[in-house]
Amino acid sequence: MNTPTLETKRLILRKFTEQDMEALYLILKDEEVNKFLPWYPIKNIEETKKFYEERYASKYAQPQGYAYAICLKEDNFPIGYINVDMEEHHDFGYGLRKEFWHRGIVTEAGKAVVGQVKKDGLAYITATHDKNNPRSGNVMKKVGMRYCYSYEEQWQPKDIPVIFRMYQLNFNGNTDFVVWSVRNVLYTL
């Protein structure tokens, strides 16, 4: 199953489609929203289409995946995204247009996506955030993730040193299991 549509009290979580390029552009063009993400703000609809092909359409072509557009129920128009990667880390990531921050929208979406991946049998998810982006860490905590360690990386493509905080949530009952995938761990508190 790939990105099965989910409904919460206020939201529809669904696949992005080719009809959503304007909506996706509004999410990806904002400097502040994209500051802590591994790409530069998108400049036009052409770049948005490329982003969609590389990061969404290609994922939807796989047998399993979780790459959601976050939409309010009232208009089903994407205002953000939330994903769980199918690679080894099962990285959990999200972003939302600034106008919609401070309303609990990503936490509501996150709980639904976590419920779905758990139901589908993933063993765990992980997530990392720049230590200067604590709002993202708050979402991780609110969906039940546990802080594990911090590490430093010369982060690409922006080529800046970043201290990341790594969170994990296990679904297989093994509360101690941690994905130690990086060498440059700085500390665990």
**Using CB under 6 A as the criterion, which residues of the chain lie in contact with ligand COA when the complex forms?**
33, 36-37, 93-96, 101-107, 129, 133, 135-136, 138-139, 142
| Residues 152-181: b if buried by 16+ CB within 10 A, e if exposed | eeeeeeeeeebbbbbbbbbbeeeeeeebee
Q: What distance in Å separates the CA atoms of residue 15 and residue 69, rounded to the nearest whole number?
A: 6
- What is the side-by-side order of every strand in the sheet holding 11-15? 6-7, 11-15, 66-72, 78-84, 92-96
| Contact indicator for 13, 109 with CB cutoff of 8 Å | yes
CA angle 19, 24, 29 (to 5 degrees): 145
Name the closest residue to ligand COA (Cβ).
104
Nearer to ligand COA by Cβ, of 103 and 119: the residue is: 103
Q: What's the token pair of residue 86? A: 């199918």
Q: Return the number of the residue (139 or 169) whose C-beta is nearest ligand COA.
A: 139
Smallest distance from ligand COA to CB 26, Å: 13
- The CA distance from 16 to 82, in Å, is 11
Q: C-beta of 165: minimal distance to ligand COA in Å?
A: 9
Minimal distance in Å, beta carbon 90 to ligand COA?
15
Give CA–CA dist 168/8, Å, rounded: 23
143 phi-psi bin (left φ>0, alpha ψ -120 to 50, beta other): alpha
Nearer to ligand COA, 37 or 148 (CB): 37
**Which residue, 74 or 176, has its beta carbon nearer to ligand COA?**
74
* Residue 35 Cβ vs ligand COA, minimum distance, rounded to whole Å: 7
Least distance from C-beta 27 to ligand COA, angstroms?
9
Output the smallest distance, CB 75 to ligand COA, in A.
18
Residue 121 or 143: which CB sits closer to ligand COA? Answer: 143
